[in-house]
Amino acid sequence: MGHAMKSAERRSRRLLRWYPRSWRETHEDEFAALLEDSMLDRPFWPGRSLNIAMNAMRVRSIELRGSPRRMFLATSVPIVVFVVAIDLATNGFGLFYVSGPSKGPMPYSSSKGVAYNKIPDYVSVYIGPNEIGYTPKAYIAASNGSSNDPLLGRIAPVYASNLTTLLGHEYPGIGFVRLGSSPWSISCKSESTYVNNPHGGQTITAIACPSATMVLPNVLGMVTPTAVGELSGLGVGVVVQNVRTTSVPPGHIVSTSPESGTTIRARQQVVVDNSVAF
């Protein structure tokens, strides 16, 4: 399995070299991780590689439009396509009849949760009037039997129907934000937190919109449920991540990202590392 992951990483990084440096500096790590997962699930999908290479050429042509190198690039594109075709045929991408990743809505089950392998690889999400995008299922569902899903509940990339063009991101508590827009400046829906009081009744606290700022409190060493409750009460999105350590008792907070004392936005995600035993 380790060899397969290293092989998938090498192949995904090699494909992403077709993109210009300016694009890779902002998107490479995220896109490479998605490619690695896709390659591990379906190692023989040549169409994926061709689509990525062709889209990279489109991005390059847009970036270099008007450049003195434009004529040279225009004459080079057929050669690049030919090289990609040879790579597909000779570099292990293999069986041309195998389909690519699946996409569609989240299956519905009235009796129990849907099995992870029954969920499409990319789940359709609403992003605007008469418009949908597609998010990798790892961001919205946990694999069967998993106790630590590093992507579940995180800020999720949203792609067009070709599953390669990034449209924007889905921010928990905020919604879909298109590329080029700031999640901290868009209008937000009013939300509140509800806390049951020991002697009855509830305390209702309105959650500020992302334009508001606050200082992240220090929750290091606290019991994890208590820390999560305190942070959630402030209106931030909390993502719990299990880490193995002997320096902090199990069930307590090891660290947070961002660090305590950092000025953050309301509804911003905060990752808390929860200690678990070896």
The pLDDT tens digits for 210-256 are 888 999 999 999 999 999 988 988 888 888 888 999 899 999 999 99
Per the structure, the count of domains in the chain is 3
DSSP H helical ranges for the chain: 2-16, 21-41, 46-63, 70-90, 224-233
User: Using CA atoms, how far apart are residues 225 and 193, in angstroms rounded to an integer?
Assistant: 16
Tell me what pLDDT residue 64 has.
64
Residue 111 lies in a domain: no
Residue 97 lies in a domain: no
Residue 148: which residues within 8 A CB-CB, separation 6 or more?
A: 241, 242
Considering the domain architecture, whether residues 172 and 196 belong to the same structural domain is answered as: no
Considering the domain architecture, whether residues 145 and 168 belong to the same structural domain is answered as: yes
Residue 96 lies in a domain: no
User: What are the pLDDT digits (tens) for 15-52?
Assistant: 667 677 766 666 656 566 555 555 555 554 566 566 66
Tell me what pLDDT residue 146 has.
56
Instruction: Write the CATH number for 208.
Output: 3.30.10.20
Considering the domain architecture, whether residues 223 and 271 belong to the same structural domain is answered as: yes
Higher pLDDT, residue 48 or 130: 130
CB-based contact 171:177 (threshold 8 Å) = yes
Tell me what pLDDT residue 12 has.
63
With b meaning 16 or more CB within 10 Å and e meaning fewer, what string describes 88-113?
Answer: beeeebeeeeeebbebeeeeeeeeee
Strand order in the sheet with 122-128: 103-104, 122-128, 131-136, 156-159, 166-171, 175-178
Q: What is the pTM of this model?
A: 0.54
* Domain end call among 129, 152, 178: 178
User: What are the pLDDT digits (tens) for 83-127?
Assistant: 555 455 445 444 444 457 899 988 877 667 778 888 899 999 999
User: Using CA atoms, how far apart are residues 214 and 160, in angstroms rounded to an integer?
Assistant: 34
Residue 184 lies in a domain: no
* Domain end call among 45, 75, 90: 90
* Domain end call among 178, 200, 226: 178
Strand order in the sheet with 269-276: 237-244, 269-276, 253-257
User: Which range of residues forms the domain containing residue 13?
Assistant: 2-90
Considering the domain architecture, whether residues 76 and 123 belong to the same structural domain is answered as: no
User: Using CA atoms, how far apart are residues 223 and 261, in angstroms rounded to an integer?
Assistant: 19
Residue 98 lies in a domain: no
Considering the domain architecture, whether residues 6 and 69 belong to the same structural domain is answered as: yes
